[in-house]
Structure 1
Amino acid sequence: MERLHQTETHSVSSNLNYSGDEDEEKDLFINSLWNIHKTLVALRGHMSPISSKVDTEILGHMDPMSPKVDTEILGKDLFEIDEKYLPPTYLVIQLSADIPVKTLTWLIEKLRGKKRDGGGELIVIKQPVNPEGLLVLHVSATKLKLLEAAEEMEFMKEDKTGKVKEFSVQFLEDFLPGSMQVDNLFSLTERQTITRHEVENIRALSEDKHIPGYPETHLYTGQSIVGVCQKYELIKSMYALHDREVLKKLGRSWYMSIFGKQPYDEIKNYFGEAVTLYFHFLGFYTDALIIPVLLGLLQLLFSRETVPFFCIFNVVWLTLVLEIWRRKSNEYAYKWGTIGMTSMDEPRPNFRGAMGVDSITGKVQPQAPRYLTYVKMYAVSIPIVFVCLTVAFVIMLASLWAEAYAKESEEWQAYVSLPSTIYTVVVLIMNAYYRRLATFLTEWENHRTQSQFERHRVTKLVLFEFVNNFMSLFYIAFITKDMENLKSQLQTMLIITQTVNHFQETIQPLAIKYYMMKVHNLKFNFFPKKLDPKSPKLLLEKNISKVTEDNKLSNIIMPELPPNDPRIKLADEEAEMEPYEGTYDDYLELFTQFGYVFLFSSVYPLAALWAYLNNLIEIRADAFKFCKVFQRPMCRRVKDIGAWQRSFEILSALSILTNCGLLYLSQPLRQSIPTFSDVQWLLLFVVLEHLMLGIRFLLHIAISDKPEWVRVALAKENYESKQALKYEKSQKNKGLLTRKFKTVDESRANR
């Protein structure tokens, strides 16, 4: 065993590119790294990712022969820092100015405490108090902590061959191409992701009954500490700092390159898989619009009799596009190592449940019965959502009826536009409150993984948006049967609405930011030099002094950034930037546009042209806002676009019904065959509708979700995994038999 230990230690030494003649400091690092690896091997399947105290309570019944873990190797010597050297900032946490010192001390100890005590073993550095009195913490991690956390969270990393696989310290050499040092193993984005994961997964222990200083709060074992602090607004914001040089280079090849291709690899390396997949979908969908654009332009050159042909081709093309996208998203997921994501992935930080041993992974994680989630969904959430949809539908009908009444009444003709104006304001208010309600209900349902949470939240929101955006068009099309009005509404929504969206997303945030900076500068420039009692400078100094005295920040012993550290300016500037809430709003724009273009393509074929032109601008505008407007979003791993794929497919199927219905109501088309009765026309379009639905179903079955090379690669990986398990089992059996026969031979010899 000693020889085996020496051999494996030498392997780790070679992985780190250290020779056997290096000094004692490097030898200490190698031994520390090897000890961490041994601990992780023992940890996997037996130890909690949050606290050995919880593990002792839960795992006390386990076999006493289970491997014992020496958690002391993760102790003080490995994770303390030299205050003369302040490591890079991976995460910025902005705390409330009103946070009590007791709460502040508890939170900081949770961040930098030992794992066996429920801490995150992270490096926490405080920033000098800012003018608003907010305490800003800079969170970092040692390279040993990053390696430990990466293996513990089963981090996916590209190896030397370009293949993405689960990171392991044992096979560290596989992830170090050429002469790369271990210090450069993880990119800044990956280090930020790992640090964010560790911060969010600091969970409450059994003795943590409430937040210190807030006895009215309640903490349960396994609850995310950061999540509950954000809920009570003790943590104002949490964000990663932009890398200005990398961002500038990315911007030149992205939003500044008008006719260039999107740099998808660079986007993924900086923003992560979720944002990259959105831009992949936006680019793919924009390219797919070229065919409908050409069909719409050709239709202008021919008579209205060609409308059915173009409409049918549009719907078939739409089905092909969505099936091809499903295949492409699986390609990306395989390349990124996310294709294997399942419901058994790590629980999200806000998942609530008693700590217990997972029956599949063997890890100690929050556990909650799945049936309770379904009971909440079907007994409470769905009825509430249905009531909200009904209210939105009734308000829409009331607006249309009021507008129709105003048109017919001479007294109210001057107020014809008033109902639609009021309806628009009401919709904006309802959207804001309904979004909060949908988020609250989905959180209350307690979905285990982040992907499950996003899928159910998006489903609730999409239903509400569908009613608000499309039901009025259905009313105009099939109740009032005013095709000219329908065409006019589509033009307005496609052109005006999308122009307003561009303004709100890019120009408005920058204008507000510029205005606030100008106002701030004017205030200081117009005040006299003399420091009277109301002088801003004097008030600022008093404010900082008061905050320091009230919170007793000086009594909290921890590293502090020097006043001239450039990270202070970056953190303050980026704190004023818009936080990125996720890809929901971006996909919602495309979903709404998708419905306008294809649900009513038989009425307004040129809708695809306006959508295409808009998307060309949208790509650059979205790239600009990611680089200049938003805080740096944290990377989130995804394997597909989630509930949006199903939403687009539902719109695709619905477009068959709506376009067949519109063709049935088309008077110019009916006049082309005057001998047909209403019943014959109805039968014709019912047959056409069923035929197109059948074609769509056949295409869905015929086109595989995964390309052939992806299926072969997955099958090969599965085979290699089985062979590796067989080999491991055979080696264990061989060792067992060797020891057994050796014992028998020795007993015979003794006789």
Structure 2
Amino acid sequence: MNGMGEDTGFEVVIVVPRRRRKEEGDEIEKNDCVEFLVRELKKAGLIVERFRGVPAEFLKVAAPMIILGHAAAELQLKKLTYIGMELQFEWDMVEAFVKQPDGSLFSWYERYSCFRHLLYGIVNKTDSNIALKYDDKEVNYEKNKSLLKMLEIEGVVKQVFPLHDEAKRKQLLRKWALNWLDFTWQPIDEIYSYFGSKIASYFSFLGMYTRWLFFPAAFGLATQLVDFGRMQFLVLPSFFVFVISWAVFFFQFWKRKNSALLARWGINYSLNDCKEMASDVNEFANEFNYVDPVKNKFYSSRPIEKMSIQADEWCGILRKVKNNAIVVFGIICLQLPFELAYAHLYNITQIEVLRYLLTAAYLIAIQYYTRIGGKVAVSLIKCENNQGEDSSAASLVYKVFGLYFMQSYIGLFYHAVVYRNLATLRKLLIQRLIVSQVLENLIENSIPYVTYNYKKYMALHKKKYDVGSPMAKNVRLSTRVEKEYLKPSYSASIGANLEDGLFDDYLELALQFGMIMMFACAFPPIFCFATLNNLTEIRADALKLLAMLRRPVPRASATIGAWLNIFQFLIVMAICTNSLLLICLYDQEGKWRIEPGLAAILLIEHILLFVKFGFSKFVPEEPAWVRVNRLRNRAQARDLYSKQLLRSITKKLEHKGD
């Protein structure tokens, strides 16, 4: 236990290669890299536990709460206080800061940030370089260089990754991943405490989305099972109106829930308002040339180089336009002909076996194509002038989704518009939604299992035939740290550092949402299949995170980010495509004359566009209690910064008077 009453556990692991020594009893030199690293970690106040495993040597690292507190102060972390404002953390005023829902002082993201600051903050503060050795390798530890970073570059440190908390992991397995009786219920606060805000927001969104899917699923099933008699011709238009209205209200209520979650977790509660006022204060104070007592920074009265800033701004905009044009050009000139060729060959092929073979070849080819497109998008955003990691991640989402949008829907558009073959369209919807999502779930859960077992087999096989191992026949993985080291990390399939595995999970949801929304009138029961798939997806994703993968590195994001714009775009596309489907359907079956039918459907389209852009303002994006607290905290923050400004100006004027 630490001074704050919290358990101090080993949460980070440093992996180094096993020594290539002739005998286990050989003495390790004093300037050995690993020995030096352990000593420096302990000097920094960290708790280190080391042992030699089968695949490598491991250093488990823990930290007393006071050490994490001082690291948080050095990082100038903003935390919510009991007066409702987010202020810079100070260890001396620790009792003033609000604790997490689980009672801990820091969130998982804050703790991991402090750990990284402590680990990579160990630098050579001497006046000369230090010569270190590792086996027969000599390493030069330069002045003012990070020790851990240098060891990573030299290959002495293989990996640094967060470690699962076994007690909390088993508790979440029992209450969440293996709890199939509660359907969509999830312990969101516990997920937030263990995985961080970004993963917790994803599962909160997935759970709410799945619960709301029960309504269109029931309506869609009724359209197939119930005979409405002479009112049958109104069923599909009514279903169309209901689905679009459902989607609009769902996302408005999701925004409300997301803002409530942020308030409950103490994230961005008043930070944006404080930052705006702080920038206003600093801008006004520049005219007085005073020293800011908070940042201890001298403000000069030099004019801002407006032309240089504007030039950088417009160059960044032009680079982004150029990169977007490259992506659009690639979609139109490369992917579009490929997709249309597949759709045409599928339509003219009469033998069902050949159709399945053609689809299999198409899916294999498109996987490589989209993977290449994702890597191109990653390389493009590196030369953009994006403001921070979130902006770069959003740019990546838009570019990659453009590739997947064309891949997933162009064949369906082809059959719906060119051939008006609704029977084939329904078959393709069932095939792509059911078969593809079932296969994706099997693949995304089986690949980590296969990867882990393969790495485990190779590590044991290598140790078994190691000449220097006297107990080679009985070798096995004895600790959970070794097992976690061999497990794959939670990463995106495109291999980007900007996004973790949630990129693929959100992409899967967005493609599913687009398919069920844009072709809702062609096959209304498709919502039932989506509901069943998502009920399985909740538990499968939870099991994957808790049992098959390493503990993910926490991310600061607390919303679904750019994906919200993707979903909103798909709603607008759904209005257009379903209107076109209704025209094709009623014209082909002869139940309406095309002239009045077309006028009625166009009227419905305009009404739904009004619903989309008008009713989205009908439901407030944040609950009233969140808004009231935010306004109250904004007033408190304004008073605080006003007093700070007045004190600073007074001191400056007194100094001039002296």
The reply to whether TM is greater than 0.5 is yes
Find the counterpart in structure 2 of residue 259 from structure 1: 181
Taking structure 2 as the reference length, the TM-score comes to 0.75
Q: 2:341 and 2:16 mapped to 1: Cα distance? A: 46
Q: 1:257 and 1:290 mapped to 2: Cα distance? A: 20
Compared CA separation, residues 391 and 361, structure 1 to 2 (3 A) = farther
Find the counterpart in structure 2 of residue 396 from structure 1: 339
Q: Does 1:250 align with 2:176?
A: no
Find the counterpart in structure 1 of residue 444 from structure 2: 505
Q: CA deviation at 1:156?
A: 4.8
Find the counterpart in structure 2 of residue 155 from structure 1: 77
Q: 1:683 and 1:427 mapped to 2: Cα distance? A: 39
Q: 2:222 and 2:179 mapped to 1: Cα distance? A: 31
Q: Does 1:89 align with 2:10?
A: yes
Q: 2:48 and 2:547 mapped to 1: Cα distance? A: 27
Find the counterpart in structure 1 of residue 284 from structure 2: none
Q: 2:590 and 2:346 mapped to 1: Cα distance? A: 32
Q: 2:504 and 2:195 mapped to 1: Cα distance? A: 17
Find the counterpart in structure 1 of residue 522 from structure 2: 603
1:130-149 alignment to 2 at 5 Å?
A: 130-132=53-55, 134=56, 136-141=58-63, 143-149=65-71
Kept in 1: contact 2:108–2:193 (CA 8 A):
no
Find the counterpart in structure 2 of residue 12 from structure 1: none
Find the counterpart in structure 1 of residue 626 from structure 2: 710
Q: Report SS of the residue matched to 2:159.
A: strand
Q: CA deviation at 1:647?
A: 0.3
Percent of aligned pairs with the same residue? 24
Compared CA separation, residues 378 and 229, structure 1 to 2 (3 A) = farther
Q: 2:396 and 2:431 mapped to 1: Cα distance? A: 29
Unpaired runs of 5+ residues, structure 1, are 1-15, 19-86, 115-119, 214-220, 346-356, 525-533, 544-566, 744-751
Q: 1:95 and 1:431 mapped to 2: Cα distance? A: 35
Q: CA deviation at 1:426?
A: 0.7
Q: 1:164 and 1:540 mapped to 2: Cα distance? A: 56
1:169-568 alignment to 2 at 5 Å?
A: 169-175=91-97, 185-186=105-106, 190-199=110-119, 236-260=158-182, 261-300=185-224, 301=226, 302=228, 303-339=232-268, 371-380=314-323, 382-384=325-327, 386-388=329-331, 390-407=333-350, 415-445=354-384, 447-510=386-449, 513=452, 536-538=465-467
How large is the RMSD of aligned CA atoms in angstroms?
4.8
Compared CA separation, residues 663 and 414, structure 1 to 2 (3 A) = closer
Q: 1:591 and 1:660 mapped to 2: Cα distance? A: 21
For residues 681-704 of structure 1, the C-alpha deviation after alignment (integer angstroms, 9 at most, x for no partner) is: 434333321221112111123333
Q: 2:83 and 2:194 mapped to 1: Cα distance? A: 21
For residues 139-196 of structure 1, the C-alpha deviation after alignment (integer angstroms, 9 at most, x for no partner) is: 444544411221233435465689876533242222488xx99xx7447775334213
Find the counterpart in structure 1 of residue 302 from structure 2: none
Q: 1:740 and 1:445 mapped to 2: Cα distance? A: 46
Q: 1:384 and 1:174 mapped to 2: Cα distance? A: 50
Kept in 2: contact 1:108–1:124 (CA 8 A):
no
Kept in 2: contact 1:111–1:202 (CA 8 A):
no
Compared CA separation, residues 624 and 600, structure 1 to 2 (3 A) = same
Q: CA deviation at 1:287?
A: 1.1
Q: Does 1:687 align with 2:608?
A: no
Kept in 1: contact 2:15–2:159 (CA 8 A):
yes
For residues 39-70 of structure 1, the C-alpha deviation after alignment (integer angstroms, 9 at most, x for no partner) is: xxxxxxxxxxxxxxxxxxxxxxxxxxxxxxxx
Once structures 1 and 2 are overlaid, which stretch shifts more, 281-290 or 570-579? Answer: 570-579
Q: CA deviation at 1:282?
A: 0.4
Q: 1:570 and 1:164 mapped to 2: Cα distance? A: 38
Q: CA deviation at 1:307?
A: 0.9
Q: CA deviation at 1:436?
A: 2.4
Q: Which of 574, 580, 583 is the aligned partner of 2:490? A: 580
Find the counterpart in structure 2 of residue 79 from structure 1: none
Q: 2:615 and 2:408 mapped to 1: Cα distance? A: 29
Q: 2:61 and 2:204 mapped to 1: Cα distance? A: 32
Q: Report SS of the residue matched to 1:93.
A: strand
Q: CA deviation at 1:440?
A: 2.7
Compared CA separation, residues 632 and 156, structure 1 to 2 (3 A) = farther
Kept in 2: contact 1:315–1:652 (CA 8 A):
yes
Q: Which of 615, 626, 630 is the aligned partner of 2:549? A: 630
Kept in 2: contact 1:272–1:635 (CA 8 A):
yes
Compared CA separation, residues 263 and 535, structure 1 to 2 (3 A) = closer
What amino acid is the match of 2:532? L
For residues 245-265 of structure 1, the C-alpha deviation after alignment (integer angstroms, 9 at most, x for no partner) is: 111112211122223321111
Q: CA deviation at 1:451?
A: 1.7
Compared CA separation, residues 155 and 476, structure 1 to 2 (3 A) = same
Q: CA deviation at 1:511?
A: 5.3
Equivalenced residues, count = 585
Once structures 1 and 2 are overlaid, which stretch shifts more, 382-391 or 604-613? Answer: 382-391
Q: 1:225 and 1:659 mapped to 2: Cα distance? A: 60
Q: CA deviation at 1:198?
A: 5.0
Q: Looking at both structures, which has the greater relative contact order when contacts are Cα pairs under 8 Å and sequence separation is at least 6?
A: 2
Q: Report SS of the residue matched to 2:90.
A: coil
Q: 1:448 and 1:613 mapped to 2: Cα distance? A: 40
Kept in 1: contact 2:342–2:362 (CA 8 A):
yes
For residues 472-528 of structure 1, the C-alpha deviation after alignment (integer angstroms, 9 at most, x for no partner) is: 11111112211111101111122212221222233453355457657877x69xxxx
Q: CA deviation at 1:123?
A: 4.3
Find the counterpart in structure 1 of residue 495 from structure 2: none
Kept in 2: contact 1:146–1:191 (CA 8 A):
yes
Q: Does 1:652 align with 2:571?
A: yes
**Between Structure 1 and Structure 2, whose CA radius of gyration is higher?**
1
Q: CA deviation at 1:424?
A: 1.0
Q: Report SS of the residue matched to 1:624.
A: helix
Q: CA deviation at 1:266?
A: 0.8
1:65-104 alignment to 2 at 5 Å?
A: 88-95=9-16
Compared CA separation, residues 283 and 669, structure 1 to 2 (3 A) = farther
For residues 528-550 of structure 1, the C-alpha deviation after alignment (integer angstroms, 9 at most, x for no partner) is: xxxxxx9724255899xxxxxxx
Q: 2:67 and 2:426 mapped to 1: Cα distance? A: 60
What amino acid is the match of 1:238? V
What amino acid is the match of 1:662? L
Q: 2:79 and 2:145 mapped to 1: Cα distance? A: 29
Q: 1:244 and 1:444 mapped to 2: Cα distance? A: 42
1:37-48 alignment to 2 at 5 Å?
A: none
Taking structure 1 as the reference length, the TM-score comes to 0.67
Q: 1:660 and 1:670 mapped to 2: Cα distance? A: 16
Compared CA separation, residues 592 and 197, structure 1 to 2 (3 A) = farther
Compared CA separation, residues 479 and 331, structure 1 to 2 (3 A) = same
Once structures 1 and 2 are overlaid, which stretch shifts more, 602-611 or 473-482? Answer: 473-482
Q: Which of 477, 488, 512 is the aligned partner of 1:593? A: 512
